[in-house]
Chain A
Amino acid sequence: MPVRPPLALLAFALALSGAAVPFDPARSTDLEAEAAPAPAVPRQSVTIPADARGFFQVLAQVNGVPVRAVVDTGASAIYLGRAQAAVLGVDPARGRRSEMSTFRGPRTIWVVKLDRVQVGALVARDVDAWVVEEGEEGPPQALLGMSFLQRFEVKVGGGAMTLTERARW
């Protein structure tokens, strides 16, 4: 495979840092240690045990309203049914219309932002979410997809999932 160094390097630097800082190969970067001296404040975390099916179910809060949710790395965003969105005060009409495919067939969705999503002590703001179209089948419970998970460090093992605040750097 031919490698175009500047592009490849930039892409990886972006992937790793999540920020638009070009990577200079002549300089080495310590992603956590150098950029941030050891944080004095312990980072918040939440541990979610797997249920009998191996799913990670959790009580979340969207804009302060509690909602049962299940962690789904197979979903790019938080995914809500119509009724769930109504309870949470999320107005799909403020979103952008789009299409996607699910296990149970194609769906029309509305892409919105949730101001505040909380699990335990962990908070994410301005999180991408999808609300299924009126009259189409949505998820039986809210799905916590990658738009939320990406904001945290996630560890899975021994029948539990732990979400931890990311180091600030």
Chain B
Amino acid sequence: MRTRRATARLILAALALAAAEAGATSILLLTAGPGRAQLLVDDRSLRGLKTGERSPEGVALVTATTESATLIVDGRETVLRLGERNDGKVTLFADRDRRFRARVQVNGTPAIGLIDTGAEAVTIGRRLATALGIDYAQGRRAKLNTVVGTVPGFLVTLDSVKIGPIEVAGVPAVVADSDAPDFGLVLVGASFLGRVHLEQHGNRLTLIPPK
């Protein structure tokens, strides 16, 4: 049994290696369960694989659990967690209200962010800023430009704002002098978005790190 599995792995690896000639294949792990996984390959092709199967792109599934999958991509063994990609990008799916929310780390502390081109800077309400350990009282008083008008607050610089593997350092941010309901979220505005690339296809938004 063990040998057979090892042999199967070897064959898969050899097949994948042959397919790898074509170049880097991008993979997003959409769903996974015992012995099966569903992938989005090259942001285009939806592939359902069972253990041991290989996609036309040469991507093979080695093992899968409900949390992660081990794949062979371009001849290399690659472990992806659910929702994760193998190419350093981040893909978000629109919520029911069509907006894109993301797990974001602000100076290493996790929060939920909203991708918002309508805010000039990363914007955080007072209460959330306190929870995130941001010492905004030291910041300069400023007015944040938003597409619905200005919002008073404190200008700070965040050492790090990170979404998945994409980290931007020294991000201008405003701690808004308000706790309006939206501010339970970190509004990920232009001061972060201007330093990455975005690609949206319908319900899917991909964040691409700067080169």
Query: Which residues of chain A are within 8 angstroms of B190 by Cβ–Cβ distance?
Result: 50, 53-55
Q: Which of A53, A153, A161 contacts B201 (CB 8 A)?
A: A153
> Is B15 on the interface with A (CB-CB < 8 A)?
no
- Distance in angstroms from B12 CB to nearest chain A CB is 17
> Is B130 on the interface with A (CB-CB < 8 A)?
no
Closest chain B residue to A105, Cβ basis: B180
Q: Are B203 and A18 in contact (CB-based, < 8 A)?
A: yes
Closest chain B residue to A74, Cβ basis: B116
Q: Are B208 and A55 in contact (CB-based, < 8 A)?
A: no
Query: Which residues of chain A are within 8 angstroms of B70 by Cβ–Cβ distance?
Result: none
> Is B145 on the interface with A (CB-CB < 8 A)?
yes
Q: Which of A12, A74, A145, A149 contacts B200 (CB 8 A)?
A: A149
Query: Which residues of chain B are within 8 angstroms of A24 by Cβ–Cβ distance?
Result: 48
Chain B CB within 10 Å, residue with most, of A103, A139, A157: A103
Query: Which residues of chain B are within 8 angstroms of A147 by Cβ–Cβ distance?
Result: 98
> Is A31 on the interface with B (CB-CB < 8 A)?
yes
Q: Are B151 and A104 in contact (CB-based, < 8 A)?
A: yes
- Distance in angstroms from B97 CB to nearest chain A CB is 5
Please choose the segment from A2-10, A86-94, A118-126 that sits at the chain B interface, where 4 or more of its residues have CB less than 8 A away.
A2-10
Query: Which residues of chain A are within 8 angstroms of B30 by Cβ–Cβ distance?
Result: 12
Contact count A vs B, C-beta below 8 Å: 176
> Is A110 on the interface with B (CB-CB < 8 A)?
no
Within 8 A of A (CB), among B40-59: 40, 44-48, 55-56
- Distance in angstroms from A102 CB to nearest chain B CB is 5
Q: Are A1 and B66 in contact (CB-based, < 8 A)?
A: yes
> Is A22 on the interface with B (CB-CB < 8 A)?
no
- Distance in angstroms from A53 CB to nearest chain B CB is 5
Query: Which residues of chain B are within 8 angstroms of A5 by Cβ–Cβ distance?
Result: 31, 33, 36
Chain A CB within 10 Å, residue with most, of B123, B149, B191: B149
Contact A101/B181 with A25-B38, A76-B99 known, Cβ cut-off 8 Å: yes
The complex places the Cα of A146 from the Cα of B36 at a distance, in Å, of 34
Q: Which of A16, A103, A157 contacts B46 (CB 8 A)?
A: A16
Q: Are B44 and A28 in contact (CB-based, < 8 A)?
A: no
By Cβ-Cβ distance, the 7 closest A-B pairs, closest first, are: A54-B190, A25-B48, A74-B116, A72-B118, A157-B197, A146-B98, A154-B200
30 contacts between A and B (CB under 8 A): A1-B66, A1-B67, A1-B82, A3-B32, A13-B46, A16-B40, A27-B48, A28-B46, A28-B47, A28-B55, A29-B46, A30-B44, A31-B45, A50-B190, A54-B117, A55-B120, A73-B116, A74-B116, A74-B117, A74-B118, A74-B187, A79-B148, A102-B180, A102-B182, A103-B123, A103-B151, A103-B182, A104-B151, A140-B147, A154-B198
Known: A16-B46, A33-B45, A147-B98. 6 other contacts (CB 8 A): A15-B94, A30-B44, A55-B145, A72-B117, A104-B149, A146-B94
